[in-house]
Each structure stands twice: as C-alpha cells, then as structure tokens.
Amino acid sequence: MPRRKYKKPKRSTVDPKYSDPVIGLTINNILKRGKKSLAESLMYDALDLVEKKTGKPGTEVFQSAIRNITPAVMVKSRRVGGATYQVPVELQHDKARNLAIRWLLQYSRDRKGASFPERLSEEIIDAAENRGGAIKKKSDTHKMAEANKAFSHYRF
C-alpha cells in the first residue's frame, strides 16, 4: 500500500477554437496573472499571422514546429562520489513536449519585434523550417547529451 495519496492525472486542457491540446498547453504557458482570454487572443493572432505568411494552415505549421523543437534526450546533474556528472537521460513524451513549448515561448519573447503575436509567429515559422533560437537550444541539448554519453551508466 503506498504511503502517499493517489495522484489523479491532470485533465488535458483543450483550446476552444481548434480543440487541440498542444495549443491549449501553449496558451496556458503564455498565461500571466490569470488573464487567459488575453493569452488566447495572443496565440490565435500568432496562428493567423503564420497562416498569412506561409499560406498553410497555422495549426499544421505550429504542430510541425513543435515536432521539430521537441528534444529526445537531455542532461541531468548527478552527484557521484564528490563529483557532479552531466548524465544524459531520455525524456518522456509529455516532458519533452512541455520543454518544446517553453523554449518556443522563451525565444519568441527574446526576439526583437513589434508585438508578441508577430514575434511568436516568426519563431513558429522558423522552428517549422528548422532554424531559430528554439531549434538551436534543442541541438545544443542533444550535443551536450552526446558529449556526456560516457556517463550514461550513472543513470538511476
């Protein structure tokens, strides 16, 4: 019998316009100070801009951007015998997707530009075409994991 209470799995948040859980998660990550309607309008404006710039449906471009950003492995610090090693660890799908969303929003906030929807749309388009800050972050993470593959036996 477990000592801790059973933790209910969280319900997936689905956005009202496209009924897509990934867009719902992105809206919740944009969210600041409980202003969900503002976060929704920012995300939908960005998807409309993506659609205008590329000529493809905004949701498809967004999905391909998230697929391109999603990492497969990352490094975690493990302390073994007084030394700290960066140990490569494979990621679960949910954790990897959340990292991809977080990186996409982080690098869109860091961009120079007029408004947040414009910066987000440009980062989405860049990620769909395998360039931009979020893609660089993914490749850096994979390079770090590859460089520290020798320490993978410390995974526990």
Which CATH number do you get for residue 139? Answer: 1.10.455.10
Task: Name the token pair of 52.
Answer: 């205008």
Does residue 13 lie in a domain region? no
Question: How many distinct structural domains can be found in the chain?
Answer: 1
Contact 123, 56 (CB under 8 A): no
The more confidently predicted of residues 9 and 35 is: 35
The whole-number average pLDDT for the span 114-136 is 94
> What is the share, in percent, of the chain residues with pLDDT greater than 90?
67
In the chain, pLDDT over 70 holds for what percent of residues? 97
Domain that holds residue 121: 21-154
**Average pLDDT score, the chain:** 90
The predicted structure's pLDDT at residue 1: 58
pLDDT at residue 143 tops 80: yes
Average pLDDT over residues 25-32: 92
Average pLDDT on 40-49 reads 95
Q: What is the pLDDT of residue 2?
A: 66
Tokens 């659609």 locate to 51
| 35 in any annotated domain | yes
Per DSSP (E only), the strands in the chain are 73-80, 83-90
Burial 48-60 (b: 16+ CB within 10 A, else e): ebbbeebeeebbe
- The phi and psi torsions of 88 (rounded to 5 degrees) equal -70, 135
- Which residue type, as a one-letter code, is found at position 64? S
Is 73 inside any structural domain? yes
